[in-house]
Amino acid sequence: MKLTNSQIREKYKKFAPKYDLLEAIPDFLVLRRFRKRLLQNAHGRVLEVAAGTGRNFKYYKNCKVTAVDITPEMLNIARKKSKKIGLNAEFNIMDTESLKFKNNSFDAVVSTLSLCTFPNPFKALKEMSRVCRKNGRILLLDHGISSSRWIRSMQKKMAPKHFEMIGCRLDIDPFGIAKKAGLGVIKSKRHVFGMFYIIEAKPKK
Ligand SMILES: C[S@@+](CC[C@H](N)C(=O)[O-])C[C@H]1O[C@@H](n2cnc3c(N)ncnc32)[C@H](O)[C@@H]1O
């Protein structure tokens, strides 16, 4: 299952006006806690890749945020949100798999709910590692394959349709991807039948 960047962009262009409304319930029930927990480890110069509509912005404290995404319509919403809350942020339309930043430019690099969308998550993590300084942090929150056999089989059944709809893979293993990409995992935790993964890691250098 693979989409090109322009196919992903087309999907998120349509999705952008509804994204915050559709995310409000999962965010209220579980995600806001996970976002807050993950982002308390973000300090200094922070790169957020695939930042979408900026749902993480309210959790950054004393950070200078650079937010990138390939979908301008998503990032436009994020830009308005940052102004509203007075976040020190700048924005770039950019592919995570080919970042236009110098090596070691950031103290932390964040990706939430995006590994599932990147056509090549290994390439994305390699780039995220490259632009993160040696003792910096790669902070990941994603959904993935559940630890419950029953939910796992549902996820596998629903995966093709879900992917066709929004280009998101329901059955990835974020922890396996992070390990295979060579990140130095410091902490990782799964929640809600093992469906949500929070990972704090050191970049591969
Ligand atoms: C499910 S949304 C997640 C948005 C946000 N991170 C959040 O937690 O709500 C996925 C986002 O990834 C973006 N995206 C997909 N592939 C990308 C890539 N290669 N580089 C940058 N952004 C990408 C999409 O445009 C979309 O905004």
Q: How many CB atoms lie within 10 A of CB 24?
A: 13
Probe residue for ligand 1, chosen from 20, 28, 69 as the CB with the greatest number of ligand atoms within 8 Å: 69
**For residue 101, pLDDT beyond 70:** yes
Average pLDDT score over the chain: 96
State pLDDT tens for residues 127-165: 999 999 999 999 999 999 999 999 999 999 999 999 998
* pLDDT in the model for residue 125: 98
- 71 Cβ closer than 6 Å to some ligand 1 atom: yes
Q: Tokens 């910096």 appear where?
A: 136
* pLDDT in the model for residue 2: 79
> What is the C-alpha to C-alpha distance for residues 35 and 4, in angstroms, rounded to an integer?
28
Residues of the chain with pLDDT > 70: what percent? 100
Measured over the CA atoms of residue 31, residue 5, residue 126 and residue 61, the dihedral's sign is negative
Q: Identify the bridge partners of residue 90 per DSSP, sorted by sequence position.
A: 66
Q: Tokens 């993964």 appear where?
A: 197
The single-letter code of the amino acid at 13 is K
The b-or-e profile of 27-63 (16+ CB within 10 A means b, else e) is eeeebbebbeebbeebeebbbbbbbbbbbbbbbbeeb
Name all contacts of 187-192 with Cβ < 8 Å and 24+ positions apart: 190/147, 191/30, 191/34, 192/30
**For residue 115, pLDDT beyond 90:** yes
- Domains contained in the chain, CATH given: 5-202 (3.40.50.150)
Q: What is the pTM of this model?
A: 0.97
- 69 Cβ closer than 6 Å to some ligand 1 atom: yes
Residue 85: φ, ψ to 5°: -100, 0
Q: Which two tokens stand for residue 195?
A: 């469906």
The secondary structure of residue 92, as a DSSP letter, is: E
**For residue 1, pLDDT beyond 80:** no
Nearest Cα residue to 87 out of 51, 132, 129: 51
Q: What is the mean pLDDT of residues 58-75?
A: 97
Give me ligand 1 centre to Cα 192, in Å.
Answer: 22
CA-closest residue to ligand 1 atom 14: 50
